[in-house]
Amino acid sequence: MSPSWQARAVAAIAGAVPDRVVARTLAKPSRRWELMPLVAPSVAERYEVDVTEIGAGRVATARPRSAGSSRHAFYLHGGAYTLGLTHWSVAEPLLDRGWTVSLVDYPLAPEHTVAETVPMVLDAWRSVTDGASGPVDVLGDSAGGGLALVVLQQIRDLALTRAGRAVLFSPWIDLVMSDPVTVESARHDPVLSLPGLRGAADLYAAGRDLADPLLSPIFGDLSGLGPVQVWVGTREMFLAQCCQLADLAAAEGVDGTEVDLRIAAGMIHDWSMLPIPEGRASLEQAIRFLG
């Protein structure tokens, strides 16, 4: 099936933005993110929302005003570790079904680095799971998808409360990005800029080896992570690393991890976050995967 006209239009608009503009935005993000409300007005009006400060970050937890289900999602936003939370597009369909959703506003580069961000997110996980009445699922998009995979590995290594299931949308799981397939596909990605991502990765890493699993979880131990659904489009440079993740998880000797890889033909980076038919369809399928 060919992409919808909405998907084609979004790709054309994104592709019209020069790479240098994207790279500059990621390397020197505007502090306008700090002025944006953490909680979307549409969410604040319809749901009960609590905001908790944890270290240098915050967690916004939204739940139905009336009794809902026991389901709980822990969500990590994208933005190349330099841009803040800009959407609740994943949260609202879950909230509409009675879920509780905790969105993590984690510390961003260049003011903060992986050395602060990962511990804050793990503290947020402890806080959320301590108060949850049932299993908590982990979701993330783009950089947040990579961070979600880091969280799953750290949960296992630190013997924290296990996640239920996980869904990663267009995850950035290899910050090295040196393989020839990724470099070539970057030339045809209408959304992402390879120089911009490399600059953002360096800011976030702050001198740490980019192959460190805390930065690039694809180089870490992939066993014992449970059911993980991964969404990636054929027009994004992260396609190769997502396929590699599925292959590695299926390799002999890697137990306890089931990767359900969903490749969407003609889709651009993070299309699942967009108000287009394909975005809504992928969210619905992801929710069904969570059960």
Active site residues: 142, 236, 269
Phi-psi region of 142 (alpha: psi -120 to 50; beta: other; left: phi over 0): left
| Residues 199-214: b if buried by 16+ CB within 10 A, e if exposed | bbbbbbbeeeebeebb
- Quick one: DSSP state of residue 251? S
Q: How many CB atoms lie within 10 A of CB 276?
A: 22
Could you tell me the CA-to-CA distances from 160 to 59, 90, 146, 151 in Å, in that order?
A: 18, 25, 19, 10
CA distance 291 to 36: 33
Strand, helix or coil for residue 49: strand
CB 96 within 8 A of CB 86: no
87 Cβ neighbours under 8 A, 6+ residues apart: 40, 77, 273
| Paired residues of 264 in beta bridges | 233
